[in-house]
Amino acid sequence: MTDEDLRLLLRSVQPPIDDRTPTRDLWPRVMERIDGGPTVSAVDVGMAALVAIVLAAYPKLLWLLAYHL
């Protein structure tokens, strides 16, 4: 197989990529997300409450938590 045969084979398998431009500008959406600030989900609140309850029940685990932070 020559280089030309390989080139033709690859061109037949992979069609050329069109020079497509985005259908809309994405930068305004990025700026909206940045300006919106952080959001807190129910899972985040639940995990924080669980950690607080466990630390209240077992205060010696505070050292373990501090070690991993």
In a domain, 22, yes or no: no
What mean pLDDT value characterizes the chain? 88
On the question of pLDDT at 15 being above 90, the answer is no
Residue pointed to by tokens 């069609």: 15
pLDDT for the residue 53: 95
Domain limits for position 49: 41-69
**Side-chain half-sphere of 33: how many Cα atoms within 13 Å?**
5
In a domain, 27, yes or no: no
Does residue 8 belong to any structural domain of this protein? no
Domains held by the chain: number: 1
The pTM of the full predicted model, rounded to 2 decimals, is: 0.47
Assigned domain for 56 exists: yes
Assigned domain for 36 exists: no
Q: Which helix (DSSP H) or strand (DSSP E) does residue 3 occupy?
A: helix 3-13
Residue 57 within any structural domain of the chain: yes
Q: Is residue 25 part of a domain?
A: no
Kindly indicate the confidence band of residue 57, based on its pLDDT and cuts at 50, 70 and 90.
very high
Res. 42: pLDDT tops 90: yes
